[in-house]
Chains A and B, each alone.
Chain A
Amino acid sequence: MNQFYTPTDHFSLLPALLLALFGCAILMLDFFVLPHPRQKRWLIFFALLGEFFAGLALYRQYRFLEDQSIPALRAFSDGLIIDGFSIFFNAIFVAAAVLVAIISYRYLEVEGEHHGEFYGLILLAQCGMYFLASGTELVTIFIGIELMAVTFYILVGFLRSDRRSNEAAMKYLLLGAFSSGFLAYGFSLLYAITGSTRLPKIAAELAQRPATDPLLLLAIVTTLVGLLFKVGAAPFHMWAPDAYEGAPTPVTAYLSVASKAASVAVLVRLFLGTLAPHRINWEPMLAVAVVLSLTIGNFSALSQTNLKRLLAFSSISHAGYILLGLIAGNRTGLTGICIYLFVYTFMNTGAFLVLISLRQKGMTGDDIDDLNGLIHRSPGHALLMALFLLSLGGIPPTAGFIAKYYIFLSLVETGHYALAITAALFVAVSIYYYFRIVRAMFLNEAGQLLPALPGWGARVGFAVTALATLAIGLYPEPIIRFAGTSLLR
């Protein structure tokens, strides 16, 4: 009974342990063993090795659940849970981290800020995300979210001599720490009401509470505000455009896919699991946030001239679509959330990868004008960008269509017709600004700008993201089944 660290605990913690170990090892290696700038390339292999072992540990967890045919494995006396849901989200984080690691190499060279910490921090942020996907205890979730957030503050400000990067990091830190304060306050109230920090116990206690309890209402509001900040949903989206624009582009990609997915995982666990009996309290608030996200995200994106800002506003509207699945809250809605985040990882990283390969000395490649006539300069990049934008807009036969289809289906199934119609109308708005970029690439005159530089990282990145975007769109069955098994609860 009094065993503090059982083999089950170790098994369920192993991926996070490996990520933390490799992350810290990279920090040490960078400092003591490989201090020379030319040796930094070995660190990226070390980071990929860490991802490989973490992925292997995750795969063993997946096999274990399949072989024993049990829905979930609980460890640390209800502190951690290993189920299909956590494994699915962790697969997304591994994919995002590997993609970001391989596409950052050349970008950091061009920026002249190639420090080994970068790869270590990517792994440490992923370690925090692991606890968000599988933590079922308030302290664990809080520490996970802070580990992720604090590493992202550093990553956003990684270009130390660039004032825009400094500014972005400062704004992200102030608003991020502010939202963490709210989240912690909400967690402290949940503890105050129930006397426990473990989600199953909290759920059992809350089920007996009346929905009108003011303390409970305050707890729900503050928790929701804190998490919507992290997801980047309106009206708490103010940090997103600035942080996305100022951050190094690979970090922007990582921030927009992995950090969003991790925060959504917490939202799903808390609001569809623990706080499900009090849906009447949180559903209207969430619906307001969704409609605001769709409105602000889509309409602000219309007038942007900077591509990173445009993609930031588009990511706010994507947060709105993802949260729609949470409002529907049925099985289809959950499948929709899982598929959406999986697909979004590839199509959004792909779009940022095009921007990264355009970045070279003396040219930022961030403005829409920088893409003018890209089809003449580098036709491959133009076609890939068009594919990713089609997918972001949700046009068949790309993967983005499958994702949106499941979200809309879940809304219709649960009778949220007004929300479904609103969201469908905003898809039309979003197609307008995505096609503005396509038009610039295909129809505008090419200026004096240089073609994109190829590199092995970009080639691998493009191959993976484009293949995933197309393959899931044309043959979605495996991923739907994978997302479906993730919902065994």
Chain B
Amino acid sequence: MLHPITSNHYLVLSAAMLIIGTLGVLTRRNIVIVLMSIELILNAVNINLVTMSHHWQNLHGQVFAIFVITVAVAEAAIGLGILIALFRNKETVQADEIDLLKW
């Protein structure tokens, strides 16, 4: 006998994604992976929004989700652009080798 999947299951999933993303940002040293972890957090937000959009039967959440996706793309584009500028001058993508400023 299977239980039906409710909004709560999705909220738990998104909370888990938030935690995984946070751990990724805090522990990984490769900047590309840190950027991916940030994407994971933003996707946790999207799952939340779409779930609750269905729960409340209105479209605010879905519209918000589209904006979050747009912002995530802009942030990733800028992030990779800065990473390329940094790589040209420094030849590394490891966060702990970027140490010119006191961290």
Contacts and interface: CB of A to CB of B under 8 A. Distances in A.
Given A157-B85, A166-B86, A181-B42, A242 B74 contact: no
A199 to B, nearest CB: 13
Interface stretch (A111-119, A190-198, A393-401): A190-198
| A contact patch SS | helix
A242 B99 CA distance: 10
B71 to A, nearest CB: 5
Interface residues of A, number: 43
Nearest to B71: A146
B82 A184 contact: no
A160 B85 contact: yes
Interface residues of B, number: 44
Given A170-B83, A185-B45, A191-B52, A177 B74 contact: no
A192 B47 CA distance: 11
Interface in B23-51: 25, 31, 34-35, 38, 41-42, 44-45, 48-49, 51
B75 A146 contact: yes
A307 interface: no
A168 B101 contact: yes
Contact of A195 (B14, B52, B100): B52
B20 interface: no
A178 B25 contact: yes
Given A161-B89, A195-B58, A184 B45 contact: yes
Interface string B73-98: 01100110011011001100001001
18 contacts: A166-B85, A167-B86, A167-B98, A170-B79, A173-B82, A178-B25, A178-B38, A178-B41, A182-B41, A185-B18, A188-B48, A188-B61, A191-B49, A191-B60, A192-B11, A215-B11, A238-B103, A242-B102
B60 A188 contact: no
Contacts of A187: 45, 64
Nearest to A137: B60
Contacts of B25: 174, 178
B13 interface: no
B31 A170 contact: yes
A193 to B, nearest CB: 9
A154 B98 contact: no
B48 A189 contact: yes
A146 B45 CA distance: 15
| B contact patch SS | helix
Contacts of B64: 138-139, 142, 187-188, 191, 197
B49 A188 contact: yes
A182 B21 CA distance: 10
A196 B49 CA distance: 11
Contacts of B68: 142, 184
A153 interface: yes
Q: Which 5 residue pairs of A and B lie closest in terms of their CB atoms, listed nearest first?
A: A181-B41, A195-B56, A188-B48, A192-B52, A166-B86
Contacts of A191: 48-49, 52, 60-61, 64
B74 A146 contact: yes
A182 to B, nearest CB: 7
A181 B52 contact: no
A279 interface: no
B67 to A, nearest CB: 6
A154 B35 CA distance: 16
Contacts of A309: 102
A73 B98 CA distance: 49
Given A178-B38, A185-B48, A187-B45, 11 more contacts: A153-B82, A164-B100, A170-B82, A170-B98, A173-B75, A185-B45, A188-B14, A195-B58, A197-B60, A242-B103, A246-B101
A245 interface: yes
Contacts of A215: 11
Given A177-B75, A178-B25, A171 B101 contact: yes
Interface string A189-215: 101100111000000000000000001
A91 to B, nearest CB: 28
Nearest to B61: A191
